[in-house]
Chains A and B, each alone.
Chain A
Amino acid sequence: MDLAYRDQVLINEARTELKGSIVAWVGLVIGTAYLAFEFAGRAERLGFMLWLGAISFFLAGWFVSWLRFALRPPSDEAVLTGWIPGAKLGMTLCNAVTAASVWVFMPAAEPELRALLLVLYAWFLVVQFAAATEATQVLGRAVVMLLGSLTVWLMVEQPPHFLKLALLLPMFGLTLIAIRRFVREAVVKATQAQAAADASRRELAAALVSLERERDAKTQFIRAASHDLQQPLQAAALFLEQLAPGARAGARAMSLNGLRRSIGLARGLIEAMLQHLRLESGAVTPVASRFPAGELFDRVILTQAPAADAERISLRVVGRRVPLNADPLLLGRAVENLVANAIRHAGARRVLIGARAGAGGPTIWVIDDGRGLAPGEGARIFRPFEQGQHVGAAGGFGLGLASTLGLVTAMSGVCGVKSGLTSGAAFFIRLPADPVGDEAKCAA
């Protein structure tokens, strides 16, 4: 059984027992009062006074402790480390005083009263057996002390039938302990079953949370996809409406241009979504190779220069000779996303693409001199369908940076954004120093 779980069960049991112990306290007070009344005149005085003093001290301590427990319930830690050992000590002391009382009451009692006393002592043990929980149980000690004391007294004083009684008492004690053990085993099994059920419930709850998260992600994807895809398609339909026969030549040209851009936007969105889905499903497997950063930059410039020119943004590269060891296609797409992002949304005039070698692996930077990010946007914009505060006129889907993160993660790298290096934002991709290739993985 899980240790923490067992402790919690003990603590809960001990709390219930300590709170309800006032009933046992009242019973013991009544029993003590009867014995005091019965033996005040006939028991040996010193022994009687010692017993009365000890049991009264014990009962007073019990009551004060109970008051404290009820008025100021202790913490779980205090119950475990203070109250449970304290209760065990108290029970042991009570049993020790009761065992000693055998030598005070038995000599002073006539045979009938002795029989009653024996029944009372047995009742005392049975009550302990029934009332005490696993946490505060001291039955073994109680049996040894009380029945041992009685047996020794019988053997020493040798009253009528002493031998039979001396044999019966240990048998009674052993029977009590054996029953207790059976009960204990049943309780342990029940507690284990309870623990297993609780663990299953927790696992089920965790699985449900995970399932709900997955469902929410899918719902979000579908909602965002339908919303984002709807815009260019509806725009295309509106542009088509303007292409009705009889439209002016200027208006036709504008509508055709709008139609072209709408369809281009829809196609871009579908490509971005497909890439997102491929990354989500883990269908992307990087194949690393060694190449200089310049090769990567050439590809990025080739694909991004037209958009940069249209926006009159200058693209500049540094660190062409830095060696890279990564999947060139995946890394190319990741950097293209960063550059496209800077061109579309940063409001920049210049974008610098650079690479720098480092002990922990090479880092690729895409730095712009645009507006920069709003506080707290750094982590959010890498989540799917999240966009920064500034979205460029060309619009966006909120998938570019999420896709970059997915691609870089697939290559065991990290990516992020820093601000403050320039007036704009500085996105980076840090690649591992020596990526573990498929061959290496297999060899390992």
Chain B
Amino acid sequence: MRGLICDDHPLMREALAGAMRDRWLDVSLAEAGDYPSAWTAAEAQPDFCLVDLSMPGAGPVEGVTELRARAPEAVILVVTGLEDEALLAAVAACGVTGVYSKNAQPSLLLDAIGAAVPGLRALEAKRLPPRQGQVLEALADGLTNKEIAARLGISPATVKIHVARLTRWLDAVNRTDAVMRAKRARII
């Protein structure tokens, strides 16, 4: 999983990259501090780009449009401190998947990034405790709690706790939804 962080503030780049590496261990991140560098880095076809709009080298719309052209398959997410609604609407129309405020709580911002970029959840799954991973696979096989308990040699009550945690972690409404979401996020 390869990403590109574009922000003219070096400390912000470092902080965002650190927080992403912290959550998604195997993500590989490149950085750019202005639009021309971002365009060049985008030619390496990253899976996603996080873009701060106010960077030297181009205007926001021009900058994002060129980024889109250089990396047509990448998920582009705008993470900006700008609040000009007209500008954000114009940028959103340039093939951007999501626009997020820099003022958002870091955990929410990371959640939003994780939800918007397919594959990041899969990386996150690597941090699932092994037992929960096994429960998720058993859920995907369509087993009941009792059957899972029997397969893993644990009590049905423990299985129930694992299922509840998995459902909450995947923002799912029930176990079927949890399996669907896990498959969509390439966790299983």
A positions within 8 Å CB-CB of B: 226-227, 230-232, 234-242, 247, 251, 254-255, 258, 261-262, 265, 389, 391, 393-395
B18 at the A/B interface (Cβ < 8 Å)?
yes
Within 8 A of A (CB), among B1-57: 8-12, 14-16, 18-19, 22, 54, 56
Expressed in whole angstroms, the minimum distance between the Cβ of B23 and any Cβ of chain A is 9
B18 surroundings in chain A (CB, below 8 A): 238-239, 242, 251, 254-255, 258
Which residue of B15, B56, B105, B110 contacts A235 across the interface (Cβ within 8 Å)? B15
Which residue of A235, A242, A391, A394 contacts B12 across the interface (Cβ within 8 Å)? A235
B12 surroundings in chain A (CB, below 8 A): 231-232, 234-235, 238
Chain B 128-172 interface 0/1 with A at a Cβ cutoff of 8 Å (1 = within): 000000000000000000000000000000000000000000000
Which residue of B9, B15, B106 contacts A395 across the interface (Cβ within 8 Å)? B9
Which residue of B81, B103, B106 contacts A238 across the interface (Cβ within 8 Å)? B106
Which residue of A230, A235, A240 contacts B14 across the interface (Cβ within 8 Å)? A235
A232 surroundings in chain B (CB, below 8 A): 11-12
Given contacts A231-B81, A234-B103, A237-B105, contact A395 B22 (CB under 8 A): no
Which residue of B22, B81, B106, B107 contacts A230 across the interface (Cβ within 8 Å)? B81
Q: Chain B: how many interface residues by the 8 Å CB criterion?
A: 20
Which residue of B9, B22, B54, B56 contacts A241 across the interface (Cβ within 8 Å)? B22
B11 surroundings in chain A (CB, below 8 A): 231-232, 235, 258, 261-262, 265, 395
Expressed in whole angstroms, the minimum distance between the Cβ of B105 and any Cβ of chain A is 7
B184 at the A/B interface (Cβ < 8 Å)?
no
Instruction: Give bound CA distance, A239 to B19, whole Å.
Output: 7
Given contacts A234-B102, A251-B22, 17 further A-B contacts (CB under 8 A): A227-B54, A227-B81, A230-B81, A230-B103, A231-B11, A231-B12, A231-B102, A232-B12, A235-B14, A235-B16, A238-B18, A239-B15, A239-B18, A241-B106, A255-B18, A258-B15, A262-B15
Whether B8 pairs with A391 at a CB distance below 8 angstroms is yes
Instruction: Give bound CA distance, A255 to B11, whole Å.
Output: 11
Whether B10 pairs with A238 at a CB distance below 8 angstroms is no
Instruction: Give bound CA distance, A234 to B18, whole Å.
Output: 13
Expressed in whole angstroms, the minimum distance between the Cβ of B19 and any Cβ of chain A is 4
Whether B103 pairs with A393 at a CB distance below 8 angstroms is no
Whether B10 pairs with A394 at a CB distance below 8 angstroms is yes
A261 surroundings in chain B (CB, below 8 A): 11
* SS of A interface (majority): helix
Instruction: Give bound CA distance, A247 to B127, whole Å.
Output: 13
Closest 10 A/B residue pairs (Cβ) = A238-B15, A235-B15, A241-B106, A238-B19, A231-B9, A235-B11, A242-B22, A393-B10, A230-B81, A235-B12
Chain B 88-107 interface 0/1 with A at a Cβ cutoff of 8 Å (1 = within): 00000000000000110111
Instruction: Give bound CA distance, A395 to B14, whole Å.
Output: 12
Instruction: Give bound CA distance, A227 to B56, whole Å.
Output: 15
**Most chain A CB inside 10 Å of its own CB: which residue of B15, B22, B54, B105:** B15
Whether B81 pairs with A241 at a CB distance below 8 angstroms is no
B103 surroundings in chain A (CB, below 8 A): 230, 234
Expressed in whole angstroms, the minimum distance between the Cβ of A82 and any Cβ of chain B is 53
Whether A241 pairs with B110 at a CB distance below 8 angstroms is yes
Residue of B nearest to A396 (CB): B9
Expressed in whole angstroms, the minimum distance between the Cβ of A241 and any Cβ of chain B is 4
Residue of B nearest to A254 (CB): B18
A247 surroundings in chain B (CB, below 8 A): 22
14 contacts between A and B (CB under 8 A): A227-B81, A230-B102, A231-B9, A231-B102, A235-B9, A238-B16, A238-B19, A239-B15, A242-B19, A247-B22, A251-B18, A258-B18, A391-B8, A395-B9
Residue of B nearest to A238 (CB): B15
Instruction: Give bound CA distance, A261 to B22, whole Å.
Output: 19
Instruction: Give bound CA distance, A231 to B22, whole Å.
Output: 20
Whether B10 pairs with A241 at a CB distance below 8 angstroms is no
Given contacts A251-B22, A258-B15, contact A237 B9 (CB under 8 A): no
Expressed in whole angstroms, the minimum distance between the Cβ of A157 and any Cβ of chain B is 89
